A and B are shown apart, each in its own frame.
Chain A
Amino acid sequence: MTQPFRLGAGGLIDRSRTLHFTFDGKPYTGHPGDTLASALLAHGTRLFGRSFKYHRPRGVLTAGSEEPNALVTLRSGARAEPNTRATTAELFDGLEASSQNRWPSLKFDLMAVNQLASPLFVAGFYYKTFMWPAKAWEKLYEPLIRRAAGLGALSGLEDPDTYEHDHAFCDLLVVGAGPAGLTAALDAARSGLSVVLADEAPLAGGLLLAEQVSIGGQSGADWAAATLAELASYPSLRILPRTTVFGRFDDGEHGAIERVADHLPIPLPGQPRQRLWKIVARRTILATGATERPIVFDGNDRPGVMLASAVSTYLNRYGVAPGHRAVVFTACDSGWQTAADLLATGVALAAVIDARGQAPASLIAPIRAAGVPVLLGGQVVAAKGSPLRAVIARDASGAEQRFAADLLAVAGGWNPQVALAAHLGHRPDWREGIAAYALGEGPGDLAAVGAADGVYGLAGALASGRAAAQAATQALGQSAALPPLPLAEDAPHAVSPVWASGPCRGKAFVDFQHDVTASDVTLAVQEGFTSVEHLKRYTTLGMATDQGRVGQVNGHGLLAAATGRTLAETGTIRARPPVVPVAIGAFGGHHRGRHFRPTRHTASHGWAAERGAVFVDVGQWKRAQWYPQPGETHWRQSVDREVNATRNGVGLCDVSTLGKIELIGPDVGTLLDRLYINLFSTLTVGKARYGLMLREDGIAMDDGTVTRFAPNRWFMTTTTANAARVMQHIDFARQVLWPYLDVQAASVTEQWATFSIAGPKARDLLRAALPEVDVSNEALPYMGATTLHWRGYAARLYRLSFSGELAYEISVPAAQGDALVRHLFAVGAPFGLTPYGTEALGVMRIEKGHPAGNELNGWTTAADLGLGRMASKKKDFIGRVMAQRPAMVDPARPRLVGLVPVDGVSAIRAGGHLLAPGAAPVAASDEGYVSSACYSPTLGHPIALAMLARGAGRHGETIIVHDPVRGGDVLARVVDPVFFDPAGERLRG
């Protein structure tokens, strides 16, 4: 297989090895060191894709990550990755690539018909079209647009690769390993700073690899490699190749994406595909270089029109001629270097057209001497042919000339890449001398060097890298004696601002990726979108994956001309992160699937899983919801059985997930008095008390039980959901509000495993399980507590009941929880001990009218929940004052009630709203809502808890439970919320 455009020699490629790859199913060859673009260009491939809006045939424009045209889908199957730039995709053996945005084929794309309708598709067309008739939007327009829109397609399959997150901390972050960056990094390392050096390319050197220059007597590429090797010898220096710093954030934080395995067919075993870095740097140096900009003229997007520095890169770095016969069109000195490179590699040079009236004689002379026509003060009027066949130009006198060419190298000048500085608000300013935007007064901890600061000469770049490193070193209090810089020369590098050329009547592109033309800019100005930010959004110029790195400044230039302003007055847009697209998978890291967030297991989890428990997520916890027995096919069977077994025998439930806080000190009682609505300082040792705490605005926040084990040793429980919030609340109270109180608090939620043992046979079971403990009613009355030892471990036993049955809670250190639950079930067999889950737990507390999370919903006060009388009048507490506001004590407020279906069988569902019978089902009739509902096996019918306006005085009334979402209104009777054993006799025996 021949590569007709591969040069006979040269390039940083390994010609001794051949790689095989395919593009749109056709086989090709290349070499290690090639990119997909360089290898395809070596074969003479011109067509790489179709443009976004107009489906124009497109070829390679650049040689870097700013490429707007040659976007392909790399790989196939689950690893298929759309919108990959062929110019940076490193070639590997077996690479598969396919072109995008074309049907049925790249060469013959039916969607190219869009071009005929192009007058309809001008900037902002979507604000003016597809509006009539309104009904047509959903069924006709949107599906059509959805099919036509977008660029590239995702595989839709699960990503088989893994992604890592990592952190780095350094004195100095150097972004870019070109000549300026390498110099800065080396000087900093020599001065004893810790340095991170990141470059998006696999090899250091930046544009040195694209040019024929020498540094200190070596070729640029050799000098870069040698400098990198020297840098690697410093242990405090981390080199990150293939790494793009994509964002700069507060406090020295930078985001960077390391493409660990993008250049391999698949990652090595154990290797992540990419690594997302958070780099915290005390100082940052931007050595990100400058990107070349094009010139706007008719047909400037034709395959074969390429940026001049890209042409030089393909010639020098990849040993590829992007064409047989070239024209160079330049507005700056650097374009002449490309002309020289073309001559040196034997590509026919048809003409050099310089838009400026003059250029350095040293650059012109060798070109003229080779017999190449030179047009100073000339213009390119149009590029013809797809792919390129001819260039129409005008000389300084206005006479038209036609040059046959298949390659047009365009050099419109250079844009320093200082987007990272803009992320924290430092927009670049217009610098007249370099006809570009560059960093003005930057932040103190960031400096731009080399081409990124508009210093385009090589010697100047080295010097500016040194100066910035010196400044950073001094600022950080270090210093070192440094050897002299290697010898280098500044080539001529003057630039003139030439934004457009020729009439720009037809398709003269400003933003290639979004198909924004010069006439779109004119249209935007006509419609009043004259600020750079408005121009960007209205035309979508600069909003594609290249983020305007190629064409944005040309757009500014056209805008300035159209509005009669200078570039300085026009300004530039504020760049935002990320500088390049970053895969969502990289941001996710390992937080996928099971690892999206932590899973918390209680001590009995393994045991419960053995018993076949069905688990439910409660926050991050897994809690057993019910324990199905063989033969049970519906969850109601299991839950009803568990409730009955507990109320008639004895049941066990793992309640370890509730928050637990240990409180120690002489002032704990005082603190608790201020946090809870009821008194706690009066609680005696060996007793527990239920409490409710409010938010500062008077709304109920959380409830729980506090136990006093010793005069200065207390223990608090919270609901599962509020464990962290209450801990934070306690810490705020004792550290900020009342720091003079002598109180220590520690979260011990995970330290204890706690089981609830409930039912008439609970005491019998405990006597058998804990024979040394006196569990008589006298020794351990209701709301009493004691400490004990179980198998030598400190344990606690409480007489508490959430179910309304005779009940206890036993706590052991979490590591003993599994052993305890197995012990209890071994001992419990004769008593018919039954495990019950959160559903049965919920049924029993609803039967007893206990408020829980559904009622502590952020709207309810203590009085709403029927707990108003709990509030002590003898002391102040958080929320007391605000709970007394008129709207908070209004008797018309929703109040906790019970509901039963009038027909005795209809299920009442939580979320239903309460209406008076006959009232219209509108918001104005709303009298409340159902907060909790279940079937009560104890009573034999459905029940519910609800918040009903003026509910306390409405027991006996009928009310409609209206459920428009799920359908089926239910007629219900309002009753006392305590459905079962209202006197509480079962718990006190």
Chain B
Amino acid sequence: MRIPCPFCGSRDSREFVTRGDAAPTRPDSEEGMFAYVYLRDNPAGALEEWWYHAQGCRQWLRVSRNTRTHQVSGAILACKGGAA
């Protein structure tokens, strides 16, 4: 599997650490904190998820992946507008 890192180019997924679904946004208050920490939708199909280029540029990427076909269609840097 390859991740298209915006800085480093198409890289082997072994250089990365995955964190999971990027859809949940961290709430500022107690309201919704339980859902943020524990609940995930697990969609079959399009998913945006967080990947960390641990062995490269150490940037968090928001990667678009299809959980059915495994196709990775793109990635944007979290710090450049990819952040929720």
Cβ of B83 to closest chain A Cβ, rounded Å: 5
Q: For the complex, is A33 an interface residue (Cβ under 8 Å from B)?
A: no
A881-B30 in contact (CB<8A)? yes
Whether A253 sits at the interface, judged by CB under 8 Å, is yes
Instruction: Tell me the minimal C-beta distance from A882 to chain B in angstroms.
Output: 6
Cβ–Cβ contact A736 & B84, under 8 A: yes
CB distance from A884 to the nearest CB of B (A): 8
Check if A667 is an interface residue, CB within 8 A of chain B: no
Contact A728 B78 (CB under 8 A): no
Q: Cβ of A253: which chain B residues have Cβ within 8 Å of it?
A: 1-2
Known: A251-B72, A736-B78. A697 touches B37 (CB 8 A): yes
Q: Is the CB of A732 within 8 A of B19?
A: yes
**Closest B residue, CB atoms, query A443:** B69
**What chain A residues lie within 8 Å of B60 (beta carbons)?**
731-732, 735-736
- Which residues of chain B come closer than 8 Å to A252, judged between CB atoms? 2
Given A249-B1, A250-B70, A253-B2: A736 and B50 interface contact (C-beta under 8 Å): yes
Interface residue ranges of B51-84 to A (CB < 8 Å): 52, 54, 58-60, 70-72, 77-79, 83-84
Chain B CB within 8 A of A737 CB: yes
Q: Is there contact, CB below 8 Å, between B33 and A881? A: yes
Asked if residues B33 and A882 are in contact (CB atoms below 8 Å), the reply is yes
Does B7 touch A at the CB level, under 8 Å? no
Residue pair A739, B37 in contact (C-beta under 8 Å): no
Q: Which residues of B contact A543 (CB under 8 A)?
A: none
Residue-wise interface mask of A (715-741) relative to B, using a CB-CB cutoff of 8 A (1 in contact, 0 not): 000000000100110011001110100
* A728–B54 touching, CB < 8 Å: yes
Knowing A251-B72, A252-B2, the reply to whether A735 touches B54 (Cβ < 8 A) is no
- From known contacts A724-B54, A728-B52, infer whether A739 and B2 are also in contact, taking CB-CB under 8 Å: no
Chain A residues within an 8 Å CB radius of B84: 736
Interface residues of A in 724-765 (CB under 8 A from B): 724, 727-728, 731-732, 735-737, 739
- Chain B residues within an 8 Å CB radius of A728: 17, 52, 54
A696 at the interface (CB under 8 A from B): yes
Complex Cα–Cα for A876 and B27 (A): 12
0/1 per residue, B3-25, Cβ < 8 Å to A?
00000001010000101000000
Residue in A251, A278, A696, A732 with the greatest tally of chain B CB atoms within 10 Å: A251
Contacts of A224 in B (CB 8 A): none
Interface string of A299-330 (1 = CB under 8 A from B): 00000000000000000000000000000000
B12 to chain A minimum Cβ distance, whole angstroms, is 8
CB proximity of B80 to chain A, nearest CB, Å: 9
* B38 nearest CB neighbor, chain A only: A697
Quick one: which of A227-256 are within 8 Å of B by CB? 249-253
For A167, the closest partner residue in chain B by CB is B12
Q: How many angstroms between the C-alpha atoms of A735 and B76 in the bound complex?
A: 12
CB neighbours (8 Å) of B38 from chain A are 697
Within 8 Å of chain A (Cβ to Cβ): is B26? Answer: yes
Interface-centre pick from B17, B19, B33 (highest chain A CB count, 10 A): B33
C-alpha spacing A728/B51, complex, angstroms:
11
Contact B79 A739, beta carbon cutoff 8 Å: yes
Chain B residues with Cβ under 8 A from A696's Cβ?
36-37
State which size class the interface on B falls in: 20 to 34
On chain B, the residues within 8 Å of A250 by CB distance are: 1-2, 70-72
Decide yes or no whether A74 CB sits under 8 A from chain B. no
Minimum C-beta distance from B77 to chain A (A): 8
Which residue of B has the minimal Cβ distance to A747?
B58
A249 to B12, CA, bound (A): 12
Cα A249 to Cα B71 with chains together (Å): 11
A residues in contact with B77, CB < 8 Å: 735
Cross-chain contact B37 with A735 (CB below 8 angstroms): no
Contact present for A882 and B2 (CB under 8 Å) = no
Does A280 interact with chain B (Cβ within 8 Å)? yes
Contact (Cβ within 8 A) A251 B1: yes
User: Nearest Cβ in chain A — how far from B7, in angstroms?
Assistant: 12
A882 proximity list for chain B (CB < 8 A): 33-34, 37
User: Which B residues lie within 8 Å of A697 (CB)?
Assistant: 37-38
A876 CA to B2 CA in the complex, in Å? Answer: 38
Q: When chains A and B are docked, how far (Å) is the Cα of A724 from the Cα of B16?
A: 13
Contacts of B72 in A (CB 8 A): 250-251
Bound together, the chains give a CA A250 to CA B1 distance in angstroms of 5
Q: Is the interface of B mostly helix, strand, loop or mixed?
A: mixed
- Bound: A713/B46 CA distance, A: 42
Q: Which of B2, B33, B52 lies in contact with A251, CB distance below 8 A?
A: B2
Instruction: Type the 1/0 row for A405-431, where 1 means its CB is closer than 8 Å to any CB of B.
Output: 000000000000000000000000000
How many angstroms between the C-alpha atoms of A876 and B26 in the bound complex? Answer: 13
Taken together as a complex, chains A and B put the C-alpha atoms of A882 and B60 apart, in Å, by 25
A864 to chain B, nearest CB (A): 19
**A697 and B37 alpha carbons, distance in the complex (Å):** 6
Complex Cα distance, B34 from A697, in Å, reads 8
Q: Which of B54, B59, B78 has the most CB of A within 10 A?
A: B78
User: Would A739 and B1 count as touching, CB distance under 8 A?
Assistant: no
In the complex the two chains form, is B59's CB within 8 Å of A735's CB?
yes
Q: Which of chain B's residues have a CB closer than 8 A to the CB of A724?
A: 54
Q: Which residue in chain B gives the minimum CB-CB distance to A734?
A: B79
Question: In whole angstroms, what is the CA distance A362 to B41 when docked?
Answer: 66
Q: A251-B1, A728-B52, A882-B33 are in contact. Are A736 and B17 (CB under 8 A)?
A: no
Question: Which chain A positions have C-beta within 8 A of B70?
Answer: 250-251
Residues of A within 8 A of B28 (CB): 876
Distance (whole angstroms) from the CB of B71 to the closest CB of chain A: 8
Q: Is the CB of A280 within 8 A of B2?
A: yes
Tell me how far the C-beta of B26 lies from the nearest C-beta in chain A, rounded to whole angstroms: 6
A251 neighbours in B (Cβ, 8 Å):
1-2, 10, 70, 72
Distance in angstroms between the alpha carbons of A736 and B1 in the assembled complex: 24
Chain B residues with CB under 8 Å of A732's CB are 19, 50, 52, 60
A854 to B52 CA separation, bound complex (whole angstroms) = 28
Q: Tell me, rounded to whole Å, the shortest Cβ–Cβ distance linking A289 to chain B.
A: 28
Contact of B58 among A249, A278, A280, A731 (CB under 8 A): A731
Q: Which residue of A lies closest to B30 (CB)?
A: A881
Most buried by B among A697, A724, A881: A881
Map CB proximity to B onto A162-206 as digits: 1 under 8 Å, 0 otherwise.
000000000000000000000000000000000000000000000
Which of A249, A250, A253 counts the most chain B CB atoms within 10 A? A250
Residue of B nearest to A727 (CB): B58
Q: How far is the CB of A379 from chain B (nearest CB, A)?
A: 47
Task: For the complex, give the distance between the alpha carbons of A737 and B28 in Å.
Answer: 10
CB distance from A780 to the nearest CB of B (A): 34
CB distance from A96 to the nearest CB of B (A): 39
Q: How far is the CA of A250 from the CA of B67 in the complex (A)?
A: 12
Give the distance in Å from the alpha carbon of A251 to the alpha carbon of B70 in the complex. 8
Task: State A280–B9 Cα separation when bound (angstroms).
Answer: 14
Q: Which residues of A contact B52 (CB under 8 A)?
A: 728, 731-732
CB distance from A885 to the nearest CB of B (A): 8
Which A residues touch B37, using CB under 8 A?
696-697, 882
User: Chain A's nearest CB lies how many Å from the CB of B60?
Assistant: 5
The distance in angstroms between the C-alpha atoms of A253 and B13, with both chains bound, is 11
Question: Known contacts A251-B72, A728-B17, A728-B52; is A736 also within 8 Å of B83 by CB?
Answer: yes
Closest to B33 in A: A881
Contact of A735 among B29, B30, B71, B83 (CB under 8 A): B83
- B33–A735 CB distance below 8 A: no
Q: What is the minimal beta-carbon distance from A982 to any residue of chain B, in angstroms?
A: 37
What residues of chain A lie closer than 8 Å to B2, measured between beta carbons? 250-253, 280
Residues of chain B within 8 A of A249, CB atoms compared: 1
A732 nearest in chain B by CB position: B60
Q: How far does the alpha carbon of A251 sit from the alpha carbon of B71 in the complex, in Å?
A: 7
| Complex Cα gap A122–B27 (Å) | 62
Closest A residue, CB atoms, query B60: A735
A886 CB, min distance to chain B CBs, angstroms: 12
Q: Which residues of A contact B50 (CB under 8 A)?
A: 732, 736
13 A–B contacts from the bound complex (CB under 8 Å): A250-B1, A251-B1, A251-B2, A251-B10, A251-B70, A253-B2, A727-B58, A735-B77, A735-B78, A736-B50, A736-B84, A739-B79, A876-B28
Task: Give 7 nearest A-B pairs by CB, closest first.
Answer: A251-B2, A735-B79, A881-B33, A735-B78, A735-B60, A736-B78, A250-B70
